[in-house]
Structure 1
Amino acid sequence: MAEPTAIPPVLHKLRLPLFLTRCGLLAEQLLRGFWPLISVILLAAALLMLGVQDHLPIEAVWVGTVVFALAALVAAISGVRRFVWPTRQMALARLDATLPGRPIQAVMDQQAIGTGDESSMAVWRAHQARMADRAAAAQAPAPDLKLARRDPFALRYVALLAFLVALLFGSIWRVGSVVDMTPGGGDLAGGPTWEGWVEPPRYTGKPTIYMKDIDSAAIEVPVNSRILLRFYGEVGDLTLAETVSGRIGELPPASDPVQDFTVTQDGELRIDGPGGRAWDIRVLSDTPPQITVAGVPEAEATGEMTLPFTASDDYGVVSGEAVIALDLPALTREYGLATDPDPREPVAVPLPMPIAGDRTMFTETLIEDLSKHPWAHLPVTVTLSATDSAGNVTVGEAHAMTLPARRFFDPMAAAVIEMRRDLLWARANAPRVAQVLRAISHRPDEVFRSETAYLRLRVILRRLESLAERDLLAVEAQNEMAEALWDLAILLEEGDLGDALERLRRAQEQLSEAMRNGASDQEIAELMQELRRATDDYLRQLSRQAQQQGQQGEQGQQQAQNSMQMTQDDLQRMMDRIQELMEQGRMAEAEQALQELQQMMENMRVTQGQGQGGQSPGQQAMEGLAETLREQQGLSDQAFRDLQEQFNPGAQAGENEGNQGRNGGQGRGESHEGQGQGRADGQGEGAQPGQPGQPGGQQSLADRQRALRDELSRQQGQMPGAGTPEGDAAREALDRAGRAMDGAEESLRQDDYAGAIDRQSEAMEALREGMRALGEAMAQEQQNQPGQGTTDGDMRAQNRDPLGRDTGSNGSLGTPENLLQGEDVYRRARELLDEIRRRSGDGERPEVELDYLQRLLERF
């Protein structure tokens, strides 16, 4: 295209905008024509810089090279065909288009008519002057570099992103590896090269190190790290020299293509040959774990020992053990202990480890009951040991202590336990033990409150004397006699109602004497706990006696109305008040309150609440345990939410103050939405304002857990089924639940929500087992209880369907209102499942019925 005439002088100042406009047009032409070529080049460079060619077969690399070359050639030819060199006329047109009225073109135009008219000429000059002023203000327009219509899939951005990734994570030097794959580059590819990795032990949690990426000549690796080297090329071109493995004897050749060894000491690692390197290896030793006793061991009156300890390790403690050994030099050798003891191995108890979390440093508590061990109440040494993942074992210092055990307050029971200890101490003490037992039981009327206990003692004496005379007291017989003496001591300690009352009086007297003598806080706390246990035992014995005697006449009830009546909640409230006064140091007031309690206990009749609402004691106990289980579930859910808030303080946790429910409601039942108000909010059965168990919107989880534990203790005192295997199983399960609640309370006071949740789960599981055992006890009691109309009841039972429902008058099923009431639902469910299996095995039944029974079995 021919260039236009020269630009008029008036437009000389447009040279710079015109030049910039032409540059913009050039950029547009280049980008629009050659963006495919640029994309292909960027993508190829990215792949080479990332080293993709090093991981592909040489054939694939050649194919890729040809593909990229053809794509680049096609893109280049297409770009040349589309490219148009921008001219000055194109630049003027683009620049003129940005101005209103196209002033540049107007300046360059010539007057067509009226050239001979002065007026017309004057108008034309004025018009051109105005257009020249407007053109002088022209600015170079921005080039149009948008390619969305030409590249709808944004392939140019994919190539650019790949190139940027290669710049960040790749290396431009890797492009040279393609030269090794060319026919002329075979010399370099065939030369010797090597690779190496350092793999630390898995328990360290450290990553594997690629040795070619190590820039420094000195590296630190954990002990027992594995080093793997691979040599490529001719055998012997590269050799290994190292002093870090400590290997002796027959070693593999230094020129082996694969070298594999473990680092055990500081030293030098060197690869000799073309491209070889050397490193100074420094070994990071695995420090042995540390373990210490974290506090003073504590013991419950029941004999349960708690020993806190702290353990730490650089990579985490795997396991621990506590070894309890007799401290013979610290023992006073008198009476039965003067005899040389029988050989006995130390007691090894595994230490509890955190279930989740970091084990590099933690504090846990060992809980163990060694009341039955021969070393109970004797000086022992406790030695803690810890083991880490590398197998390092650290044995801590021996901690001297007296092995905690159950305390027996009954003098006769304490004497029997002492003789049991002497018998376990040495079998040679058997004649002396029999003699002492016979001496203390010389006048049974004066020392035994129960004929059963005396008869059991006589049986044990005859058995022990017979074995001692014939020298047949082997280890098995020794353990058998010790177990019998233990059961006898428990019977003497707990006894019947009179024994329980005597134990209660004795606990009150010991507590009163301790307060008068200024005993330590720990001793007073133990005696207060013993008073609570004695009170619970007395109430339990009282309830058992009432069940054995059955329902009394109205005359006996009227005679008892003159005596003082107290509920168990009143007793718990009074004992809480006594403990509060003692903690405040107001011993005089506490002793006075204790005397009032003692006087009330002498005259009171504990209300049993039988017949309230038409429910039996077993049904009331079952409902109370169910409510306790719901409340424990609510506390566990609240502890879980608090645990979440520890790790996410900014999360919206709902109403935390007083939030006792499962799903954020305000402390009601299990779902806490429209349910009956449970005892967790202090308004349940027997709760009064201000007593433990009433959070009031401010009570901590630990206090609420303690209130729930006290409520469970109260319910245990009213538990029916005493003396039966099912009733004893229920009590044992509730005892486990109580201990788990105590552990949960301790964890909550230490803000250990994870441990509290674990203990609360144990408590809930034990509560469920207790409820199942109680249901079995109630069902057994109903089966054994005689009543009137037995024949009619049997006839009605024969007319019931498998679910226990009575049939209607016309043979139809009745209402399900009495469905499974009064029976153990778990036992009944097993019976139903057995019946379904029996019927499904009867081939004579219709096919439709058999299919239905099979579907039931598959579902349940």
Structure 2
Amino acid sequence: MVRRMAKTQNPLTPVLARLRRPLSLTWAGLIAERLVRAFWPVWSLLAAGAAMLMLGLQDMAPVEVVWSALMLGGLAVLAFALQGARRFRFPRRSEALARLDEALPGRPLAALADEQAIGATDPGSQALWRAHLARMAVRAAEAKAVEPDLKLSRQDPFGLRYIALLGLVVALLFGSVWRAGSVAQMVPGGGNGAALASGPTWEGWVEPPAYTGLPSLYLNDQDETLRAPVGSRITLRFYGEVGALSLAETVSQRTENIGAATDAEHRFELRQSGEMRIDGPGGRAWQVEATPDMAPMVSLSQEGAKTAFDGQMSQPFQASDDYGVTGGRAVFALDLAQVDRRYGLAVAPEPRAPIELDLPMPIAGDRAEFGETLIENLSEHPWAHLPVVLDVRVEDAIGQQGMAEPMQMTLPARRFFNPLAAAVIEQRRDLLWSRENAPRVAQVLRAVSYKPGPSLFRSEAAYLRMRVILRRLEVMTASDGLDGDERDEIAQALWDLGVLLEDGDVGDALERMRAAQERLSEAMKNDASEEEIARLMQELRDATQDYLRQKMQQAQRENPEQGDQQSAENTMQMTQQDLQDMMDRIQELMEQGRMAEAQQALEEFQQMMENMQVTQGQTGQSPGQEAMEGLADTLREQQGLSDQAFRDLQEQFNPGAQSGQSQGNEGRNGGQGRGQSHDGQQGQGGGEGGEQPGQQGEGQQDQADEQDQAGSLAERQEALRQELERQSQGLPQLGGEAGDAAREALGRAGRAMEGAEEALRNDDLADAIDNQAEAMDALREGMRNMDEAMAEQRNPGGQGEAFGEAGKQQSDPLGRNPGQGRQAGTQDDLLQGEDVYRRARELLDEIRRRSGEGARPDVELEYLKRLLERF
């Protein structure tokens, strides 16, 4: 009997006992899935309604609209609830079992519920069936709960549920659950019951315009006198019995859509001073003073207005407004009546729009009253040095404008002292004035360049450039006349020529400085006026700065060896600030009337400037610097070898190519100059004495020559590797992680060079190029690590390069010189050559963008917040 019961027992029963937990979870998920699909419109409507109530939208709409919306919303919720109840079907346990079985491979639960249909009496079939059931039982024991499918994209393709949830989240963040209680006050006999019992009441607010930055006022707390800006929005609400309270006011100037004085809510804007009164129990009256928004004011300042040596204009201005200036513009208009209409300006000018520039505004701080400087370089404009009228106007938040007194001036621009440069710039101005001047401009340029003397042009390049410009101008004029683009192209070429003639080289800068010194000395001897001496002194300062700049550029180009410089014992080192102090001393002596002493100081200054030599760096190099320069030379040699190997690889696939003509043949055979040929001989491509394309030249070699060249490359690679090993052994003692990393990187570079050498001997140029690239990367990495290690040795405190090396002028953490001569601080420009105001605005926009990215770390967001604080 026991044996028979064991036979007939269902194998699924013990399995289901073990799967009770995953089956229950799957069943619960199935219930949640059907609930969500049936009732998602209900909770979406409830979330949207709660969001609107917590945000207080019911307070902004009439009572009728609020009640209509509530009734429609309630009916919609009821309809969707009934529809969901009809659609919802409670899942059976068998459905949960089927879903759990579907998630298993081979549906083991269904297999365990099956019975053997054939072969029930066959022992072999019975054994196979029992083995099958055992395997299915093992699979069923691994069953896990099936996650419910809660996606509603098919039922809600427009994502309305997400909109409702978003509104609820916004309401929870920015609204209040207490604001939803205001709906109860709209219920007849409900929320107003207490108000009716205690009598009618009221409340009100005054909200100034947002641009004023003033706080809102609660009328219940205000005295009998009320001051508020024009445009403030006043809101009054009456609670209690309708008609018990009424409003009387003379401040809004309303004539239409006024409504009844006893309405439950009043909204209007303050337009004029007057009286506002609430009549009824608990009423109050106010004398309202409307403060007008005054128009902004702006004025130009002559003090501080200047034009730099390169023509950059600086025009200070002051602006003010009661609530802050939002923007402004400066407009330069040609004063045609004041123009000297002679020569090229005698013809009628072509129409040209006025020059409009945005005024710089303070990036941070209050804009109610400030002073700024308009900085711009208008040297290339056709009106340069011509009479113009400057109109400056500013604007406030409501569009009111204030304008400064128009200023008559000549448009500030660069001055050209070289006569030929000044003539070229004048002809450029005439050409831009009117295209009718093109024949005259060509005639003048041809006249000044005809049989030039030895001192007229600074170089043959300047003369040839003028002849090319002249030829193009004559051709364009003779064909169909100049169009706008051609005229602008010729004008740009003339400007470049004028700058070349004016600036020249170091010798030209020295001549300009000497001329400025002579003019100043002559003015001192002739007892010139203070204004004239001040102007000439400024010219001397500008010429001196230009000479120093040219001298420094020449030193950078020549890069003289340290051995060619004077020794430290025989060299007097002076900084640019020291020279500035000497010129300040000369000007101080002149202002005191001590002209003899000033003349002597000026001669000493002139003699010192002529004998000055600009040097760079220190007179000696440390072992670390010598090692860095040696590694840099090794890197350049390796780059040259890699370039040659690459060109040889190209020639293998294109034997007819003109070798040595690619990009000036730089780096060929590892050389540093241009035009080096494949065999190491000097040449200039297709120049004089060189092979012409198509002829048999240095780029065509037979197979034996190519093999010899590959062997030469391998030998040179070997020599370069040995040189690197020698340099690695002679490195200075560098400690720390950076020093270890430098030695390890140089070791990798040596191994890569050895691989490149072996590949070159096997004529495997592709593999050699890969190894050479790896060697160059390792060399660069080693040099970076070596530089970090030397910086750590120079400054163990960890302040980087801010303190500099021994014997050098120290700088602050921003890299600026901390003070020289008699001055504390630095006169170095932090942003040279660009619009500092535009750059500051770009930086502020970038800081604001980053501060709005919530994914950034809290520490960084806090730092950005501090940067945005206005002091």
* Alignment TM-score, normalising by the size of structure 1: 0.48
Structure showing greater radius of gyration is 1
* Alignment TM-score, normalising by the size of structure 2: 0.48
